[in-house]
Amino acid sequence: MSAQTFNQALEAETIKRLDAAIAGQKDTLAAGQLPDHSTYRYHAGVIKGLEDAKVILQEALSDIQRV
């Protein structure tokens, strides 16, 4: 496996795991079984953080591929 192929596989797996983490957090919110508003806000914050991390990662990978 070449380094480029390995890096592409690693990038794809990272994005896949971020998507899974985001989906898991959204499922938690959708279940509606959170004990209080602060817990809801916590999960919403986690989702926002994961989504931001995904965008930053994708932008960085795009920048690297252009070089």
- pLDDT of 23 reads 93
- The tens digit of pLDDT for each residue in 5-47 reads 888 888 889 999 999 999 998 988 888 777 787 888 888 899 9
CA 20, 22, 25, 31 torsion-angle sign? negative
DSSP string, 14-29: HHHHHHHHHHHHHHHH
Q: What is the pTM for the complete model shown? A: 0.76
